[in-house]
Structure 1
């Protein structure tokens, strides 16, 4: 398992710590189980990461809300989580038993997750697929099979796009867009300012030294924002500002507590650019308006050839 993949344990650590707060935004009873002794190791190496911990907690909660809202409409019959890492939503969210959920990530990570959660039952139909998503041929085979199986699919790429180059994100967006039944796409969008500030911060230095051999870990933060994806055949269905969510959940830190309301009232254009740049985005396939498949395939029927 490469070091970047180990960030899955860091995210799980943040979810575990959030779950232990009295004002927790969500509860993940499986995060500690998946962590094992990695939690202590990461805390020792990376130190306290309160801001990052809150950022992960807010991202998780906002995505939870959007997933439950969309699934609650009854339109979605399959969720495809690309780069699923140690995500536990199929276990901890109140999902309908008929929903199909497919997790995709590297073989070692999927095998460890399968082993540690084998005694626990997911809320929905769950299948795991071991696949390196950088392998475009195998990824295309996966998307082809999912597209042929379910008519209304939500794709999730939580925490994935930031590690890809612009060319890689473009190819992924085009690959997904070519599949007419992959109707929605959920991810977080980072602003260019984030990359600059992160690379200059002490936290960013520790992060890239440990996880990426001194090279910048984050690469993708388009200047165009959501217009980057609109040019590739996607429409914005929902956009939730992480800044607004941080204010709502009272998780702004330091000077931001003062800066945020000042920008909002006295520099609305700057506030809009900042809030829209750092957000959770739900895209919808610009030409996908299919109907619900009344007989979606069970997860076990998916990806038999991959």
Structure 2
């Protein structure tokens, strides 16, 4: 991977730079949580206009734990469904298909906006069975690339909170309707977290904020065919894996507050 890529993205797409920056910081830690081996080299190749990334250093453990949980679930799926299919939605500059070592028998589809995918292709060298699809995840046309007969894992990291509620539910409906058997893994934030995002200076400066928050009753009502397999509090994960050991007891104590428990959770649903 050589050369410098100019990236000037605003709105939700700018979060890919924030996430990459935090993964770089985690990788440099003495006790990395995710330990993304690609983050630092890829970040070093980007010339961008998103300022104040240092303001997100407090979220490094949160973002690393979220990715680590989703990597674990992806690895579990690939171990049992090596001839299956993974739909990596809103993939941004994530190295997940390289981190989890996708078998050549697996169909892996990365999906994100065309501008993001142009940069992604230049920054990473993915194997041929990792397909890059430039499209909005809420569009219908890109589903023509999906094999409906394969067992499917849908991974949506850092995506659903930025979509309008109808966009989230329509996308989930497509997963149910367009696949014979699927797992759906995604993160969601509490309503108070979404409200706080609208008053966070760094997020406002980047032109991005959360639009959708988790309402379990509403989700169950809208998608009665889904069964929840896992529900993980990222705050709990951070309390266990925070690299700064002195901070773990404080986080564990704060974790007794329901609001902190629910600030960000990662869910895994199945269609069967």
The TM-score, its normalising length taken from structure 2, stands at: 0.84
The answer as to whether partners of 1:155 and 1:182 remain within 8 angstroms in 2 is no
Residue 78 (structure 1) shift? 0.7
**Is structure 2 residue 220 aligned with structure 1 residue 234?**
no
Q: How do residues 253-264 of structure 1 correspond to structure 2 at under 5 angstroms?
A: 257-258=249-250, 260-261=252-253, 264=256
Residue 157 (structure 1) shift? 1.2
Q: Cα–Cα, structure 1 residues 152 and 259, in superposed 2: closer, same or farther, change >3 Å?
A: closer
Give the match for residue 201 of structure 2.
205
Give the match for residue 166 of structure 1.
165
Give the match for residue 115 of structure 1.
122
Q: How do residues 129-140 of structure 1 correspond to structure 2 at under 5 angstroms?
A: 129-134=133-138, 136=139, 140=140
Q: Distance in 2 between matches of 1:263 and 1:65?
A: 23
Give the match for residue 18 of structure 1.
26
Q: Cα–Cα, structure 1 residues 276 and 195, in superposed 2: closer, same or farther, change >3 Å?
A: closer
Give the match for residue 157 of structure 1.
156
Give the match for residue 143 of structure 1.
143
Q: Cα–Cα, structure 1 residues 142 and 40, in superposed 2: closer, same or farther, change >3 Å?
A: closer
**Is structure 2 residue 75 aligned with structure 1 residue 68?**
yes
Query: What is the Cα-based RMSD across aligned positions, in Å?
Result: 2.9
| Offset from partner CA, 1:180-204 (integer Å, 9 cap, x none) | 325111100111121233333xxx2
The TM-score, its normalising length taken from structure 1, stands at: 0.75
State the aligned residue count: 263
Name which of 30, 39, 42 aligns with 1:31: 39
Name which of 275, 278, 283 aligns with 2:261: 275
Larger radius of gyration: 1
Residue 51 (structure 1) shift? 1.9
Q: Is the partner of 1:155 in helix, strand or coil?
A: strand
Q: Distance in 2 between matches of 1:21 and 1:141?
A: 41
Name which of 80, 84, 105 aligns with 1:77: 84
Q: Distance in 2 between matches of 1:226 and 1:236?
A: 12
The answer as to whether partners of 2:82 and 2:103 remain within 8 angstroms in 1 is no
**Is structure 2 residue 109 aligned with structure 1 residue 102?**
yes
Q: Cα–Cα, structure 1 residues 262 and 58, in superposed 2: closer, same or farther, change >3 Å?
A: closer
| Offset from partner CA, 1:22-79 (integer Å, 9 cap, x none) | 100122222233324547864x534332222221111111111111122222366110
Q: Distance in 1 between matches of 2:32 and 2:255?
A: 28
Residue 179 (structure 1) shift? 1.9
The answer as to whether partners of 1:187 and 1:280 remain within 8 angstroms in 2 is yes
